[in-house]
Amino acid sequence: MKPSKNTQTRHAAILRHLKQNGRATVDELAELFSTTPQTIRKDLNLLSDEGRVMRFHGGASLLAGTEYTLFEVRQEIARDEKEAIGRAVADLVPSHTAVIINSGTTTAAAARHLASHAGLKVVTDSVSVANEIRGFPGVEVMVPGGIVRPSDGAILGEAAVDFIRQFRADVAVIGAAAVAQDGALLDYDLREASVARAIIENARHVILAADSSKFERMAPVCIGHLSQVRTLVTDQRCPAALKALCQSHGVGLVEA
């Protein structure tokens, strides 16, 4: 049955709130819209069934849309999953290695957990990541030149691509806006895709850090394929189809 006009209006308002804040609890939304928690739970379940939000216990978070929202908002999307993924990724990075870290909220979570590592040389195409880890005692940070994207501090352009191509990293940590059914790794920004391709091509061990909501979503630009990845680190909701893709392409799977 088609939702009532009032329900549709509330759904649109919930989505606007999540776009601005990344996530919200049932109680918060019930108070905001002067309705009952039971009504909000029903709303969130319907929006989840439509693939528009991701439910977590007691609330919901925004799913990646068709364009970049502010970095601070994207950090709140699947926040707990990203934090667990970040810890697991950092555990896979040995000390005394050269690392390239791609711009993104999940890769930024991984970077934050490198504080106890020693002897790391890190190249990152993100001024946000560079600023966050520049004080780590065991980390030397390098950033390329290029255009800084205002929304999240990603460094874009041919200068960034040329800079990254000068390195042969032991480990690359990359993210993706989406992972297609055929294993294609997708993004929204053509310029960032060029940087990501250079990172993949110039690393011995590529780690893809992506929460499970990215699977079977769509984005317009291809940055690579799952077969180019050595290890996928995702959350414990990893779909069976994605597990099968990893197995068929010989990709190690870590469910954080």
Q: Is-contact 155 144, C-beta < 8 A?
A: yes
The more confident residue out of 151 and 129 is 129
Quick one: which of 21, 26, 52 has its CA closest to 41?
26
The answer to whether residue 217 scores a pLDDT higher than 50 is yes
- Tell me the pLDDT of the chain averaged across its residues: 89
Domains identified in the chain and CATH numbers? 5-63 (1.10.10.10), 73-255 (3.40.50.1360)
* pLDDT, position 16: 83
* pLDDT, position 253: 98
* pLDDT, position 213: 83
Q: 């999953």: which residue's tokens? A: 81
The answer to whether residue 66 scores a pLDDT higher than 50 is no
* pLDDT, position 151: 79
Q: Is-contact 178 186, C-beta < 8 A?
A: yes
The answer to whether residue 230 scores a pLDDT higher than 90 is yes
* pLDDT, position 224: 96
72-82 mean pLDDT: 66
Give per-residue pLDDT as tens, 26-51.
Answer: 999 999 999 999 999 999 999 888 87
Beta strands in the chain (DSSP E): 23-25, 53-56, 59-62, 98-101, 120-124, 139-142, 147-148, 155-156, 169-174, 178-179, 184-187, 203-209, 221-225, 231-234, 252-255
User: In what helix (H) or strand (E) does residue 32 lie, and over which residues does it extend?
Assistant: helix 26-32
Q: Which two tokens stand for residue 99?
A: 């690392």
pLDDT range class, residue 67, cuts 50, 70, 90? very low
The answer to whether residue 72 scores a pLDDT higher than 60 is no
Burial class (CB in 10 A: 0-12, 13-18, 19+), 103: buried
Eight-class DSSP state of 237 = T
Q: How far apart are CA 179 and CA 206, in angstroms?
A: 15
